[in-house]
């Protein structure tokens, strides 16, 4: 399972770099400052949680500690829901989703997934014998 988590972290990291560069260079002329800040917040949270995924990938008991494995999936869900919805919210006018205010409803679900991921790490640490 460690190899799969490392691969997930690698893809998330590569996408974060690409999306950050795309926002800074490709979207800058198309978005206002507020929209760019939304995009950047998505990239920022994707990077934070990609780093955590990377750390978890090297945890030797990842496969047998359900709390840590659960954290991986919640962090991935958070990246998709939180960061993904921010990317769509920031660019909705450019991509033709002018009236897609419903996208804002998705973002908190991603935030909750991040919180559950962190709490899963906490629970795993409580149960771990160091």
Q: What is the mean pLDDT of the chain?
A: 92
Region class of 96: left (phi > 0), else alpha (psi between -120 and 50), else beta: left
95 versus 73: the higher-pLDDT residue is: 73
Record the tokens describing residue 27, joined without a space.
């979207």
H or E stretch covering 128: none
Torsion, Cα of 15, 18, 21, 23 (10° steps): -60
The percent of residues above 90 in pLDDT, for the chain, comes to 75
Report the pLDDT averaged over residues 54-70.
85
Q: Which of 90, 123, 119 is nearest to 104 (CA)?
A: 90
Q: What is the pLDDT of residues 19-51, one digit of tens each?
A: 999 999 999 999 999 999 999 999 999 999 999
Domain span at 41: 2-127
pTM, to two decimals:
0.91
Distance CA 78, CA 107 (A): 9
Q: Span 83-111, mean pLDDT?
A: 88
**Cα–Cα distance measured from residue 40 to residue 31, given in angstroms and rounded to the nearest whole number:** 12
Band (12; pLDDT cuts 50, 70, 90)? very high
Number of domains composing the chain = 1
Please indicate whether residue 55 or residue 62 has the higher confidence score (pLDDT): 55
Quote the DSSP letter at residue 27.
S
Distances in whole angstroms, Cα of residue 37 to Cα of each of 6, 33, 112: 29, 6, 21
**pLDDT at residue 10 greater than cutoff 80:** yes
Determine the pLDDT at residue 128: 79
In this structure, is the dihedral angle defined by the CA atoms of residues 97, 108, 37 and 72, taken in order, positive or negative?
negative
Residue 85 has pLDDT above 70, yes or no: yes
């Amino acid at each position: 399972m460690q190899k799969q988590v490392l691969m997930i972290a690698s893809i998330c990291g590569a996408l974060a770099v690409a999306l950050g560069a795309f926002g800074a260079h490709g979207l800058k002329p198309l978005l206002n400052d507020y929209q760019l800040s939304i995009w950047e917040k998505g990239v920022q949270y994707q990077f934070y949680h990609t780093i955590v995924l990377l750390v978890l990938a090297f945890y030797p008991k990842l496969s047998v500690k359900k709390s840590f494995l659960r954290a991986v999936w919640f962090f991935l869900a958070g990246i998709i829901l939180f960061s993904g919805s921010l990317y769509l919210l920031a660019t909705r006018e450019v991509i033709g989703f002018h009236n897609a205010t419903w996208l804002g409803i998705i973002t908190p679900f991603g935030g909750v997934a991040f919180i559950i991921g962190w709490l899963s790490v906490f629970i795993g640490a409580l149960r771990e014998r160091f």
